[in-house]
Amino acid sequence: MMSAHQPSGPAALGDSRLLSVRGLRIVSRIQGEERVITAGSDFDLAPGETLGIVGESGSGKSMTARALIGLLPTGVRADGEVTYRGRNILALPERELRRLRGAELAIVFQDPFTMLNPLMRCGAQIVELVRDENGKPLGRHARRAEAARRLAEVGIADPAVADAYPFELSGGMRQRVGIAAAIARDPQVLIADEPSTALDVTTQREILARLRDVQRGRGMGLILITHDLRVAFALCDRVLVLYAGSVLETASAEQMEAEPQHPYTLGLLLSDPPVDRRLSHMTAIPGSVPAADQVADMCAFSPRCQWRVEACDAGAPALIEVAESRWSACVRVPVIVPEMLAVKSEALAARADREGAAADLPAADVEGAVAAARGLEKVFGDSRQSGRRVAALKGVTLEIGEDEAVGLVGESGSGKTTLGRCLVGLERPTAGTVLVNGVDTGHQGRLSGGERRRLRRTVQMVFQDPYSTLNPVRTVGATLAEAILAADEHARDVRSAVAELLERVGLPARYAERKPVALSGGERQRVAIARALAVRPRLIVCDEPVSALDVSVQAQILNLLTDVRRELKVSYLFITHDLAVVRQVAERVYVLRQGEMVEQGATSDVLDNPQHWYTRKLVDSIPSSDEAWLARAEAEQDSEELERAERRA
Amino acid sequence: MTAITAPDTGFVGLASKRGRRRPSLLIAVSTLIMLLVVASAIFGSLLAPQAANAQNLLYGVHPSSAQHLLGTDDFGRDIFSRLIVGARAAVIGPALIAIGALVIGNALGLIAGYVGGRVDYFIMRLADLVWALPGLLIAIVVVGVIGGGYYVAVVVLIVLTFPVDARIVRGATLQQRNMPYVEAAATLGLSPLRLMIRHIWPNLLPLVMANTFLNFAFSLVSLSGLSFLGLGVPLNTPDWGGMLAQNLPLLQSNALACLAPAIALVLTATSMNLIGDWTYERLSDRGRAR
Amino acid sequence: MRARLIAIFLIRRALALLVLLLMISFLVFGLLYLAPGNAIQVLLGTHPASRSVIAALTAKYHLGDSFFEQYLFWLKGAIHLDLGVSIQTGQTVTTLIGGRIGVTIFLGIYAFLISVLLGVPGGVIAAMRNRTVADRAIVGISLLGVSVPAFVSGVFLLYLLAIDAGWFPIYGPGTGFVDELWHLTLPAFALAIGVMALILKLTRAAMVTVLEQDYIAFAQSRGVSPARVIIRHGLRNALGPIVTAGGLILGVVLTGAVLVEQVFALPGIGSLLITAVGTKDVPVVQGFTLLAAAILIGANFLIDLCYLFIDPRMTTGRAAI
């Protein structure tokens, strides 16, 4: 169901506003303590318009979404005005709100794996509330027809999906079922809360295309909540930037991307690594995201802003109209815009001198390699339960040399994490060999205990989740001390060694006494890197080390990794799904798909000129504000739909 | 058989109004009660105003008076003293069961969760078998037919309790084991034993402690039934369950002779349950690894 | 396709349970030999030992055969519902049990109904009002219920409502349906307090977990009515853990019945067990234990059957992808 008309431009702010939010202030009260979640947001949504709300963790974007539909958790209260069709939603009694939900305002949640009732068939969930013209429940035939029709609308051609339970479907399909269920009663406004975050990059594109498709077909207003600025630019007409509970900027997507009118927006833009070049150094916003009430009486961004002056801390700045339908909450904006533009062009121009084409790379040298895998295979699952064997790796060969950063790219199910774990020794391969320092790790019986231990420590790992990467009952210092002593039992003066490690990763020495719960995500990841360095490894396997961090912090950690490598000449195996990130870190890259290596080479070659169709698809999946990006996706997905429907049957 | 469900988190934590630092009044009272019970169990005859077994057949049964706070039973024995001395018999069995299940269950659970393999299989099968079995009934049959009294019953209940504990610990161990901080420690080359004891187990502490308290309360309720049926401690030893049974006919002459041990049982079990729930909630709030 | 998977699962389960029952029967039979004294002494009980009596006993119980052969003989009898003869009374065990099981079943069902009717709604309400005063009160009551042994609640009820207030009879099962209902009310409530508390705890825990899930909020956001959200989306998904604990609940009911029957002097199989244990009437104990095991195992099988209908994920053997 594709429509031919163009998207509506920046909303004409007359009375044709669909949704109008003024002074939305969300506060939580738990056990007598009151905490601000958002300090007072203002924005509008016109009919048929797509508004993007972009924010990192703690920005209040998810709570804003919930406030709009009146589903705030207990203890959380919203004040202000949310006007829909002349009525203030926040002031409505619950019964009235219930009538609005689903029929006028709808929401799609982030995680497709938990959004649907696992014990109810998909079709039943979609048509649960659909009634005929007289308001009566539908008969069985009508229900089936309706379910099939709505599934088709979201791109699921196979009506048998209606009889399936959610656990029988893939993540992308579940998300589509969720969308179909949310719009089943033809609402005017759809709020999509991070609809593609939990999905693979290639699936993400499809879902976003579907959303746009559905929106245009029905003329709905769409509010897209996301942390990814690129996604917002790709899909939305207008974008609103939320930070620590305050709206900092509102503008059309094109204008904001070309010329941000707030230092934070600029910082966010620059924190996203470009995929077409490697920068020598990423421009990172220092510090980490504060809690909303810590910055309630000042400009929320000022503690981290390089253009900060006294006036910025005097009080929360209001949104001022800096141009036609553009608002910014920065008091210095007219003055600093030229400087900001200069920073932007400088940052993007800082190309790395070392981009490395295939010709420059040393020949692959197995014996000299720090670590290598030869024909690695790994199968998971019980031999007794035949249906459940999963081949994670189907014969993969790679090597990492001295002082070399190698990228390993793939989506979920590619086997990239399994490969990394095999190199570190956390998994044992079913077949093939792993060589560390030239020694086959499968035959360690011949080595002495000391040699074996030394072998283990040649390769270390940094994990993805910063919140479970450190033992919560131990102090940072104790964790690092344990690592230091593991490397060298007779180490003297462990305390200063710990302090040295902390400094190297950019943390003050006094952090040694803190427990992980007192550290932010970025800080915890730094400690994890310090721990990996403590044993002086030759290779560090980084498994999606920045994926779970806020965007504004990612760049910091990437810079740290680059700096550490320069100082210590340690090698990296950088595992990620994000091509832009891998470009910044690795000279060579391997691309994995479903346990097989499909392409490899110098990063610049592989990304600028992909040979394999899958690599090309990955590159294409990076969100781009180019109109064609979503349009191409729609064309491609119909053929894939058929393929997948056949597989499910 | 343990208290199968996880501790309730709704009640206790919120009874404290101000912050989470100070435990609520309810917990303070429960702890006080437990201390009294433990003191009675240890020092019993020293604390009791009169000799628990001293009979006065001529006096017989009387309701409470100045000399006998809770009255006397039909042998003329002072109820209050018997109550205090009876704490030992009432409490020692559950304590042994809770500790026994703790030690065996934790050791096996850690190994099952961390190492897996045969121990894991064995524990899971055993727990499947045992978890719904009515422990008290089995204890009755065993003690009743084979004899052996109180301590045989205790052993039977330990055997029936530890598999479920082990399964709970196994589940929690598995969860922790897959977390990066354990894997990172493994890559350092630390031994599995060290990983289990110094890394994983401290993170299981809230669960383990809460479970132990709840096991105690549950065993108290179960074992008292055994004494009530006359199958527990020898008849002369004062014991709450036994007193309840013996003094049942006295309900109309001195109700307290029967009701006092009943109240003592309920208060002790309730206090332990409260403390167990509170422990779980309180300790699990300290930023455990998710 | 799914039907076949279900059938395979059920057959495997039934076989496993049957094997379990056999193993238990073996242990139960062995009780005769685990009791102090040799088999003859146990079987004699307090009867005088004369040579003819001993010879009769040896013949009747095949005591000359090997242990395993005796077991098979006994097992064959058990399958034909012949569980031997009570040493104390001389009646067949089957008659004894048959005569008394009615009271226990009545008591058990009565108590179970009370527990479910109070426990499930209580747990649902507590979960809905999670962390409010109502929730705290309900959880407090349930905590108390779990801390009170069945015989203690029996004694309290007996004292307060039978002896003191005189509203209910003090002992005995009564005759006729209505009279029996009146007589068994106090015992049933005494038994129900503990069971209700357990059911409430389970229901509340399961509901709290379910209500926190995204699909509940999603259903609400689509405008599903609150009643339907709680029941079709909430309780329906919480049933799994509750039903799974059915075997446990039955065990608690059985245990409580034994205790309560003592307090209220009811002639059920619980008090039969106690009397038999007191007099070392081993055949009766064996009969009771075998019956109890069969009931529990049968109940577990039924629960597995129910669970198949509750959670379709079981049949594919897989939880979510």
From CA A3, how far away is CA C261, in angstroms rounded? 76
Name the residue with higher pLDDT: A646 or A454: A454
Share of chain B above pLDDT 70, in %: 89
Asked whether the beta carbons of A132 and C235 are under 8 A apart, the reply is: no
What is the average pLDDT across C125-152? Answer: 90
Side-chain half-sphere exposure of C176, counting CA atoms within 13 A: 2
Contact B190 A516 (CB under 8 A): no
From CA B187, how far away is CA A635, in angstroms rounded? 47
User: For A273-284, what is each residue's pLDDT tens digit?
Assistant: 888 888 888 888
Confidence of residue C219 (pLDDT cuts 50, 70, 90): very high
In this structure, the strands spanning A76-84 and A19-30 are antiparallel
What is the average pLDDT across B51-65? Answer: 80
Q: pTM of the entire structure?
A: 0.85
Share of chain C above pLDDT 90, in %: 35
What is the average pLDDT across C144-163? Answer: 89
Q: Name which of B19, B184, B288 is nearest A472 (Cβ-Cβ).
A: B288
What 3-state DSSP class applies to A456?
helix
Output the pLDDT for position A460.
93
Confidence of residue A8 (pLDDT cuts 50, 70, 90): very low
- Going through C95-242 in order, the beta strands assigned E by DSSP cover none
What 3-state DSSP class applies to B59?
coil
- Closest by Cα among A571, A570, A272, A573 to A421: A573
From CA C234, how far away is CA C216, in angstroms rounded? 7
Q: Which of C208, C222, C315 to mutate to test the interface with A (most CBs of A within 10 A)?
A: C222
Confidence of residue C220 (pLDDT cuts 50, 70, 90): very high
Q: Which of B25, B30, B130, B137 to mutate to test the interface with C (most CBs of C within 10 A)?
A: B137
- For chain A, the average pLDDT equals 86
- Check pLDDT > 90 for residue A188: yes
From CA A295, how far away is CA B97, in angstroms rounded? 54
Nearest residue of B to residue A535 by CA position? B188
Contact A486 B180 (CB under 8 A): no
Q: What's the gap in Å between the CA of C210 and the closest CA on chain B?
A: 15
Output the pLDDT for position A383.
54
What is the average pLDDT across A253-265? Answer: 91
Output the pLDDT for position C77.
82
Asked whether the beta carbons of B160 and B138 are under 8 A apart, the reply is: yes
Output the pLDDT for position C281.
84
Output the pLDDT for position A643.
54
From CA A257, how far away is CA A265, in angstroms rounded? 9
User: For B158-169, what is each residue's pLDDT tens digit?
Assistant: 999 999 899 999
Q: Name which of C130, C223, C237 is nearest A102 (Cβ-Cβ).
A: C223
B230 φ/ψ sector (left φ>0, alpha ψ -120 to 50, else beta): left
Confidence of residue A445 (pLDDT cuts 50, 70, 90): low
Confidence of residue C163 (pLDDT cuts 50, 70, 90): confident
Output the pLDDT for position C148.
92
Share of chain C above pLDDT 70, in %: 97
From CA B128, how far away is CA C270, in angstroms rounded? 26
Asked whether the beta carbons of C176 and C98 are under 8 A apart, the reply is: no
Tally the residues of chain A. Answer: 649
Output the pLDDT for position A352.
64
Contact B8 C143 (CB under 8 A): yes
Confidence of residue C314 (pLDDT cuts 50, 70, 90): low
From CA A522, how far away is CA A287, in angstroms rounded? 9
In this structure, the strands spanning A238-243 and A50-55 are parallel
Output the pLDDT for position A507.
93
From CA A77, how far away is CA A120, in angstroms rounded? 32
Q: What's the gap in Å between the CA of A629 and the closest CA on chain C?
A: 30
Output the pLDDT for position C84.
79
Asked whether the beta carbons of A157 and A645 are under 8 A apart, the reply is: yes
Output the pLDDT for position B191.
86
Name the residue with higher pLDDT: C279 or A243: A243
Residue B103 CA, chain-centre distance (Å), reads: 14
Residue A152 CA, chain-centre distance (Å), reads: 28
Residue A645 one-letter amino acid: A
Asked whether the beta carbons of B273 and C142 are under 8 A apart, the reply is: no
Whole-Å CA distances, C151 to B226, B273, C109: 11, 19, 18
What is the average pLDDT across A252-274? Answer: 90
What is the average pLDDT across B118-125? Answer: 88
From CA C298, how far away is CA C14, in angstroms rounded? 9
Asked whether the beta carbons of C255 and A135 are under 8 A apart, the reply is: no
User: For A295-335, what is each residue's pLDDT tens digit?
Assistant: 888 888 988 888 888 888 888 888 888 888 888 988 888 88
Residue window 79-138, chain B: list those with CB within 8 Å of chain C.
Answer: 129, 131-137
Residue A567, phi then psi, degrees to nearest 5: -70, -45
Contact C313 A101 (CB under 8 A): no
Q: Which of B187, B198, B282, B290 to mutate to test the interface with A (most CBs of A within 10 A)?
A: B187
Q: Name which of B137, B217, B273 is nearest C254 (Cβ-Cβ).
A: B137
What is the average pLDDT across C267-296? Answer: 88
Output the pLDDT for position B2.
39
- Whether A72 and chain C come into contact, CB under 8 Å, resolves to no
User: For A474-528, what is each residue's pLDDT tens digit?
Assistant: 999 999 999 998 887 777 889 999 999 999 999 999 999 999 999 999 999 999 9
Confidence of residue B97 (pLDDT cuts 50, 70, 90): very high
Confidence of residue A14 (pLDDT cuts 50, 70, 90): very low
- Whether A113 and chain C come into contact, CB under 8 Å, resolves to yes
User: For B241-272, what is each residue's pLDDT tens digit?
Assistant: 888 888 888 888 888 888 899 999 999 999 99
What is the average pLDDT across A14-42? Answer: 85
- Check pLDDT > 50 for residue A4: no
- Check pLDDT > 70 for residue A356: no
User: For B273-282, what is each residue's pLDDT tens digit?
Assistant: 999 988 887 7
* B201: its two tokens: 């187990």
Confidence of residue A147 (pLDDT cuts 50, 70, 90): very high
Contact C215 A116 (CB under 8 A): yes
Nearest residue of A to residue B178 by CA position? A468
User: For A591-640, what is each residue's pLDDT tens digit?
Assistant: 999 999 999 999 999 999 999 999 999 998 888 877 778 777 665 655 55
Asked whether the beta carbons of A30 and A56 are under 8 A apart, the reply is: no
- Closest by Cα among A122, A113, A112, A114 to A165: A122
